[in-house]
Amino acid sequence: MTSPIIIDGKEASARLKDGIAKAVADLKKRHGITPGLATVLVGDDPASHVYVASKQKTAVELGMASFQHDLKAETTQDELLALIEKLNADPSVNGILVQMPLPKHLDQVRVITAIDPAKDVDGLHPESVGRLVAGADTLASCTPLGCIMLLKDVLGDLAGKNAVVIGRSILVGKPVALLLLNENCTVTVAHSRTKDLAAVCRTADIIVAAVGKLEMVRGDWIKPGATVIDVGINPIPSPDGKRRLRGDVNFAEASAVAGAITPVPGGVGPMTIACLMVNTLKAACNQRGISDVAIPLSLPKKA
């Protein structure tokens, strides 16, 4: 068996960000528009602060405007909804991202639904999800979009491939399955009640694992030559106390069988923020009816 292709998410996201930066510069030059991303963070969760800071930093690096709204943990539902209404009405804000999870006293669904779907760069608004179900153009959620870009980069056309998605969350599993269906794959969605998951996985040309269970997918679940996308993020204990991560797939076993595989870390993760930037650029162009800027909707070819 030859060694698998290790899908390098860092390299892929750098390529994507390069394409976005060029398109942002082009948008400014042709139309004098700078895409703007507003992030809303409620509370003091340290991990959320790191994620939001990284989103803001990337937006600025790519030439976008970034507007940060850090709200105290006691913010009321009405205060948060009032801010979203203000951002919906602000023409310099093209994308709105409310960092999840929200403190428990806030209604996540109501907050997501309050965002103007045209600015829903996280792709979680029911209208965005509905458009995905209908196979219409939409702002798709970022991690699923990143998975599809990686798959198309390594496999080209996905039509006719058997894809098994493990996990059916609204955040990852379901949108990945819908995006694969829109790419004309034959899709099976597995979950905690699926019988003989190993046998189901062995039918797959493509496996997308989005479960959150450390190294659940074993080498003998994988058809030789299949492509494996590991979305899982599972912290593992380490003797030096540093935070280390592993995926939902047993990488050592799987890479002896797979044709291509994403590592954790360094696979899907880096694509998520880059896809948020694609969505912000796309939202900015859509809101102004601009069609003469080349938005990178798939990964630019390697130089």
Q: Report the distance separating Cα 92 and Cα 100, nearest Å.
A: 23
Q: Report the distance separating Cα 138 and Cα 131, nearest Å.
A: 6
Task: State in angstroms the smallest separation of the CB of 156 from ligand NDP.
Answer: 23
Tokens coding 294: 């080349």
Stretch that binds ligand NDP, among 25-33, 70-78, 92-100, 161-169 (CB under 6 A): 161-169
Binding residues with ligand NDP: total (CB under 6 A): 25
- Which among 56, 99, 119, 174 is annotated as catalytic? 99
Choose which of 7, 27, 145, 197 interacts with ligand NDP (CB under 6 A): 197
The answer to whether 212 contacts ligand NDP (rule: CB under 6 A) is: yes
3-state secondary structure 100-146: CCCCCCCCHHHHHHHCCHHHCCCCCCHHHHHHHHCCCCCCCCHHHHH
The answer to whether 258 contacts ligand NDP (rule: CB under 6 A) is: no
- Which among 17, 55, 119, 161 is annotated as catalytic? 55
Stretch that binds ligand NDP, among 16-24, 115-123, 154-162, 265-273 (CB under 6 A): 265-273
Residue 242 bears catalytic tag: no
The angle, 0 to 180 degrees and rounded to 10, between the axes of the packed helices 142-155 and 269-287 is 110
> Could you give the maximum distance between any two Cα atoms of the chain, in Å?
59
Within 13 Å and on the Cβ side, how many CA atoms surround 251? 20
Tokens coding 234: 């599972």
Residue 57 bears catalytic tag: no
Q: Report the distance separating Cα 195 and Cα 212, nearest Å.
A: 18
Stretch that binds ligand NDP, among 17-25, 107-115, 163-171, 280-288 (CB under 6 A): 163-171
Closer Cβ to ligand NDP, 90 or 266, answer by number? 266
151: Cα separation from own chain's centroid = 13
Closer Cβ to ligand NDP, 125 or 168, answer by number? 168
Positions in 80-119 near ligand NDP (CB under 6 A): none
User: Residue 40 — φ and ψ, nearest 5°?
Assistant: -125, 120
Stretch that binds ligand NDP, among 52-60, 111-119, 127-135, 268-276 (CB under 6 A): 268-276
Residue 287 bears catalytic tag: no
Q: Could you list the active site residues?
A: 55, 99, 122
Task: Give the footprint of ligand NDP on this chain (CB under 6 A).
Answer: 143, 166-169, 171-173, 190-194, 197, 210-213, 231-234, 268-269, 272
